[in-house]
Amino acid sequence: MTLRDNPSANQDHAGALRSRPDPNLSTSVAVAREEAFAQVAGDLGRQAEELARERGINMIFIAARGDPFAEICRVADEIHADALMVGASAKAGHRLVGSLAIRLVRAGRWPVTVVP
Residue of 84, 77, 80, 79 whose CA lies nearest to 102: 84
* Angstrom distance (rounded) from CA 59 to CA 61: 7
pLDDT, tens digit (0-9, with 9 covering 90-100), for 9-52: 444 444 444 445 566 668 888 889 899 999 999 999 999 999 99
* Angstrom distance (rounded) from CA 83 to CA 107: 13
Please report the pLDDT score of residue 46 as a whole number: 95
Q: What secondary structure letter does DSSP report for 3?
A: G
* Angstrom distance (rounded) from CA 90 to CA 99: 9
Q: Is the pLDDT of residue 99 over 90?
A: no
The more confident residue out of 51 and 86 is 51
* Angstrom distance (rounded) from CA 75 to CA 19: 39
State the pLDDT confidence band at 91, using cuts at 50, 70 and 90.
low
The more confident residue out of 21 and 53 is 53
Residue of 77, 74, 79 whose CA lies nearest to 60: 79
Please report the pLDDT score of residue 113 as a whole number: 92
